[in-house]
Amino acid sequence: MWCDNCLLLFPLRVGAMIWAFLIAAYSIAGGVVLFMLGPYLFFVFPEWDIYGGISMVVGAVAVISLIALANRSYVWTRIAKISWPFVIIISAIRAVIMVVELQRGSTNIEWECANGGQLWTASAEAGYGGSTAFPSSFCTAGFANIDAAFIVGLLVDLVFQIYMFFLVWRYQKRLEHYQNMKGPFGGGYYA
């Protein structure tokens, strides 16, 4: 027996479109934040650019999923379905490395907070960072809270991505199973 609505929080197509939009919005915003504030949190040069780039890739795949669902396109739905497992694995690896590197740089982050939000000395000498300063809200929250927020945020991100993969897979199966049904049936009147 086939279950059309199992594990769905919203109606399949529209709910998946909303889910894809949410993932795209927070992934792109997170990528921009990592590009701007990454040198204050991570201390090896291309690290924050890689993390921000992966966030942008997640956002791009979410936009592809959104377009596939909006167009009811079988081809784009398959592309999105094939892309999500790779993105999820890369995001999981990124999450582990980000948490480890954040733990490793905890003393540097505390030093930055203790010195008025200026960039870590070795990073400043290497020319990292830009015109932005470390936000004081990060310092008032404390490193333990920042670390916990990163861990929870990355885990929630992975769960959201896995659920998005499920929604895209489920929508593709619906397209395959019901491709011969062209409605509306009975003149559009359903009793």
Which residue in this structure is represented by tokens 């780039």?
53
Res 155: pLDDT: 95
Total of domains in the chain: 1
Asked whether residue 65 is assigned to any structural domain, the reply reads: yes
Asked whether residue 137 is assigned to any structural domain, the reply reads: yes
Asked whether residue 69 is assigned to any structural domain, the reply reads: yes
Range of the domain at 30: 12-121+133-175
Confidence (pTM): 0.82
- Average pLDDT, 10 consecutive residues per value, the chain (191 residues): 63 88 95 85 82 95 94 89 96 93 82 73 64 71 82 94 92 77 53 45
Distance, CA of 16 to CA of 162 (rounded, Å): 12
Asked whether residue 82 is assigned to any structural domain, the reply reads: yes
Res 122: pLDDT: 66
Asked whether residue 105 is assigned to any structural domain, the reply reads: yes
Distance, CA of 164 to CA of 156 (rounded, Å): 12
What SS3 state is found at 128? coil
Give the pLDDT confidence of 82-130 residue by residue, as tens digits: 999 999 999 999 999 999 988 888 877 777 777 776 776 666 666 666 6
Res 190: pLDDT: 46
The H-assigned helical ranges of 72-185 are 74-104, 106-114, 121-125, 136-141, 143-177
Asked whether residue 73 is assigned to any structural domain, the reply reads: yes
Asked whether residue 161 is assigned to any structural domain, the reply reads: yes
Angle at 111 between CA 115 and CA 123, to 5 degrees: 95
Res 140: pLDDT: 76
Quote the longest CA-to-CA distance of the chain: 74
